[in-house]
Amino acid sequence: MGGTYVITATSYDDEDLAGCSATITYQVSATTALTTTTVTTTPAITKTTTTQRIATTITIAKSGTTFYGRLTDAYGNPLGNKPLTIYYEDEGRLCSRSLLTDDNGNWSFSIGGVDSARITFAGDIHYLPCKAAYG
């Protein structure tokens, strides 16, 4: 759900870290998440970094024994060379394999005897995670 969420951690027990705190603010919308990290090492030193993460979409389809799809950002741009994980059930066991998108954001995985699968992109510093399922 969209909104702004704040998490703050403050150290009281460790004498080396007494008075130190870290605050992270997440602002979530439909296409992006804005992350602001503020770290205060002493009351006099504060560093704030803001990172905006873009929403992503992944597709999954099947032809014969091959599952395939594409990873794009919220604007339709392909995301190349991104790590993915495909999950499937094989003879009653849950299995997973690591994949990588090509330069055009495309991916594929061939396996016989499997009718359903789930593909996930964990996200990274620039992009939000996403997932899709087939079957």
16-45 confidence digits (pLDDT tens): 666 666 666 555 555 556 666 655 555 556
pTM over 0.85: no
Q: How far apart are CA 58 and CA 106, in angstroms?
A: 9
Between 134 and 5, the higher pLDDT residue: 134
How many C-beta atoms surround the C-beta of residue 124 within 10 A? Answer: 13
- DSSP, res 48: E
- Of residues 118 and 7, which shows the higher confidence score? 118
pLDDT of the residue at 48? 66
Task: Give the model's pLDDT for residue 51.
Answer: 74
| C-alpha pair distances (Å), 71 with each of 35, 48, 76, 107, 129 | 22, 31, 9, 8, 11
Domain residue extents for the chain: 3-53, 56-134
Architecture of domain 56-134: Sandwich (2.60)
In tens, the pLDDT along 81-113 reads 999 999 999 988 999 999 999 999 999 999 999
Q: If you write DSSP's letter for every residue of 60-101 in order, what string do you get?
A: -EEETTEEEEEEEETTS-B--S-EEEEEEEETTEEEEEEEE-
